[in-house]
Amino acid sequence: MSAGDVVVANAPFVTTLRSRPGTIRMGGSDTEAITVRVEMPEVWDVVRVETSPDESVATLKAAALAELYPRARFPEDFVIKLRGIEVTNENLSVAQVGALNGSIFLVTYRRRRPVR
């Protein structure tokens, strides 16, 4: 381990792989907080998010977009997926859609983009 490595106590290993340093914290200081990974292939980047299981998926998506793609004007232009399946009701909580500690979400454009 080098001096630049970031160690996150009690975070699942998958959330530490090639993610930005630091953690986005949502939902206050909940002792039952879970840590999830949010990936965005358009920018080839990943963030680690510590959230309450009761936090909505829409809030998780908005926080991830603000960090990964701040120039996104409309969050509804993006979808969020868990286990490859789109979360169609983003008002559900993270726990209600089946996310666990160490789950991986994917945020991507709703429609395919032309290659330039």
Each domain of the chain, given as residue ranges in start order, spans 13-109
Q: pLDDT for 37-77, tens place per residue?
A: 999 998 899 999 999 999 999 999 999 999 999 988 888 89
Contact 107, 68 (CB under 8 A): yes
Lowest mean pLDDT among 11-15, 54-58, 77-81, 108-112: 11-15
pLDDT at 8 over 60: no
Q: pLDDT for 71-102, tens place per residue?
A: 888 888 999 999 999 999 999 999 999 999 99
Burial state string for 65-76 with b = 16 or more CB within 10 A and e = fewer than 16: bebbbeebeebe
CATH no. of 13-109: 3.10.20.90
